[in-house]
Amino acid sequence: MTDQLAPSPTGSEEGGGSRRRRARRGEGELLREDILLAAERLLMDTGDQEAVSIRAVADAVGVTPPSIYLHFADKQDLLFAVCERHFERFDRAVEGAAAGASDPLEALRRRGRAYIRFGLDNPEHYRILFMTKPERQPAMWTPERMASAFAFWNHVAAVQACLDAGLIRPGDAMEIALHLWAAVHGITALFIANPDFPWPDRDRLIEQYLELLVRGLAPAS
Amino acid sequence: MTDQLAPSPTGSEEGGGSRRRRARRGEGELLREDILLAAERLLMDTGDQEAVSIRAVADAVGVTPPSIYLHFADKQDLLFAVCERHFERFDRAVEGAAAGASDPLEALRRRGRAYIRFGLDNPEHYRILFMTKPERQPAMWTPERMASAFAFWNHVAAVQACLDAGLIRPGDAMEIALHLWAAVHGITALFIANPDFPWPDRDRLIEQYLELLVRGLAPAS
DNA sequence: TGTACATCAGTGAACGCGCGTTCACTGATGTAC
DNA sequence: TGTACATCAGTGAACGCGCGTTCACTGATGTAC
C-alpha cells in the first residue's frame, strides 16, 4: 500500500539485501548501468578485486545473480566494462592536467604528476588496470587496445613535442615514453602495494622524483 | 614386493598423485622441506599464486592435506615461509652483483640491474614480494621486517657511499634510495604485469633506463 | 472500451567445484623392561 | 632375545563456505484486435 510510483528504479542506492523495483518495459538497460556502478563502488569500498563477485554485485544492486547475465555475458565481461570506464576517467585526468601547461616539458611533468595522483586516489582501480596479470584480465584486453585505452600514444606525442622543442636530449620518443611510464608506474605501484611502509612525506618524495627524471632527460649542456 | 628400502623419502620428486613414503621416526622434518619445495615449484610452474592451495601442495608432495598442518599453522604460515626463502635468494642476487664493482656508482648500477633481472627471471615470486597488497600477505609481514628482509638498508648504504664519494648530487640517502627503488620497481613490474605489450628490446631498454637514472643523480656540473 | 496474447525483466532453486580446516583414527617404529 | 607400549607420522572422511553459471519458471507490461 505504501508502494509509491517512483519515476525510475535507479532512484535509490541499494545498500544490499533490499529488493530493487523491477524496470518498466523497454527500460531494462537501466539495470546495466546500475550493475556497473555497483561493481565499481564495491571495488572502491572493499578495495578488493575478489570482493567483486557476481553474487555481491547482484546483492548490492538489489537483484538476483542470474539477472547480471541479462546484461553481461559472464564475469569477465562485467569486469572488462568496469575497466573500460576507468581507463576513460584515467585518460581525462591525465589529459586535463596537461592542458594548461606553458611548455612541453612542463606538460610532461604535469602528466606524470596526474598519473601518480590518479593511481594513489584510485588504488584498486589502478591495481586492476596496471598491476594485474594478463590472464586475469578480461579476455579481449589486447595490448593494442590497452595502449590506446590509456592514451599511451598521447604520452608518446607529449615526449615527441619535447624532443621537437629541444627540451630533452635526443632519442627515440617511444623508448623515452616507456622509460617515463616505467618510472611513474614504479612510484605509484610501490605506494599502492606497500601503504604501510614508513614512507617519508609523499608529495615531497614525488616532486623530487619527478625532478630526478627531468634532470635525467635534460639535454647534454 | 617391489618395495625397495630407499634411504630417504625425499629421494624422488613426486609428480602428483603418487603416494609419498612415510618418513622414519625422527625424520618428520623432512616433509617440511619437501612441502616448501613443492609450494615454490608450484608457484614457478603455474605462475599463479592461487594455484598454491593446501590441497595442490599436498598432492604435489604425495601426501594428504592434513599433513601440511603438521608443519605449518595454516596457509598463511606456509606462504610466509616461501616468501622468506625468496627474499633470501633475492638478497644474495643483488648483493652478489654489487660485490665486484670498481666504484660506488658502478655498484649502484649493478644493484639496479640485478634487481630488475631477478624480477624478470622470477616474475611470480617478485609479484608476491612486491606487487601483492599487504592484507593478502602473511600476517607477520611487517614493514620493518620487509625492509630488513630485502636488504633495503644495504641499498641505502650503497647510496650513502655514492654521496660520500661525491659521485651523486647531495641529498638524503633514504629519499634517493626510495627514488631508485621506485624506478627499478617500475620497469620490473611493468614488464611482469604486461608481458604481451609490444616492448622494444628489453635489455637495451633497461640499460638506457639505468643511464637515465644515473644522469638524473649526477652532481650539478 | 475490453480482452487475449506476446514480450520483457526478472526470480528461485539448483548444479558442481575447489577451497581451508578439523577430528577421530591407524599403523609403523623405536624403546623399556 | 622377546614383547608390551608410547610415540610419531601420517590418513580418511567430512564440515561449511562462496563461487560462477544454468535452467525452467513467473508475473507485470504493453499491444493488437
Cα separation values, A48 from A165, A218, B132, B166, Å: 44, 40, 11, 45
Separation of CA B56 and C1' C30 in angstroms? 33
| pLDDT number for residue A196 | 83
Measured between alpha carbons, how far is A49 from A43 in angstroms, rounded to an integer?
6
- Asked if the C-beta of B193 comes within 8 angstroms of chain A's C-beta atoms, the answer is yes
A217 min Cα distance to partner chain B (Å): 7
Residue pair B184/A121 in contact by the 8 Å Cβ criterion: no
Could you tell me the three cell numbers for B179? 627514488
Measured between alpha carbons, how far is B105 from A136 in angstroms, rounded to an integer?
39
Q: In this structure, is the CB of residue B66 within 7 Å of any atom belonging to strand C?
A: yes
Q: What is the DSSP letter of A71?
A: T
| pLDDT number for residue B150 | 76
Contacts of A130 in chain B (CB under 8 A): 190, 193-194
- Asked if the C-beta of B209 comes within 8 angstroms of chain A's C-beta atoms, the answer is yes
Query: Could you tell me which of A217, A160, A161 has the C-alpha nearest to residue A184?
Result: A217
Could you list the mean pLDDT of each consecutive 10-residue stretch along chain B, which spans 221 residues? 36 61 92 97 90 97 97 94 91 95 98 98 90 67 70 95 98 98 98 90 98 97 76
Measured between alpha carbons, how far is B213 from A70 in angstroms, rounded to an integer?
51
Give the least confident one: A59-68, A205-214, B28-37, B81-90. Answer: B81-90
Q: What percent of chain A has pLDDT over 70?
A: 87
- Asked if the C-beta of B170 comes within 8 angstroms of chain A's C-beta atoms, the answer is no
Contacts of B218 in chain A (CB under 8 A): 215
Q: Which of B190, B199, B213 to mutate to test the interface with A (most CBs of A within 10 A)?
A: B190
Total Cβ atoms within 10 A of residue A71: 17
Q: What is the mean pLDDT of chain A?
A: 89
| A213: closest chain B residue by CA | B216
Is the Cα torsion angle A119, A120, A121, A124 positive or negative in sign? positive
Measured between alpha carbons, how far is B143 from B11 in angstroms, rounded to an integer?
38
| pLDDT number for residue A60 | 96
Q: Which of A49, A124, A131 to mutate to test the interface with B (most CBs of B within 10 A)?
A: A131
Count chain A–chain B contacts defined by CB atoms under 8 A: 130
Q: What is the pLDDT of residues A119-172, one digit of tens each?
A: 999 998 899 889 987 666 655 566 677 777 778 999 999 999 999 999 999 999
Which nucleotides along chain D are within 7 A of a protein C-beta?
7-14, 18-24, 28-30
pTM: 0.90
The 3-state DSSP composition of chain B as helix, strand, coil percent (nearest 5) reads: 65, 0, 35
Contacts of A133 in chain B (CB under 8 A): 47, 127, 192-193
End-to-end CA distance of chain B: 81
Could you tell me the three cell numbers for B142? 611487517
A147 min Cα distance to partner chain B (Å): 8
Measured between alpha carbons, how far is B105 from B128 in angstroms, rounded to an integer?
29
Contacts of B144 in chain A (CB under 8 A): 198
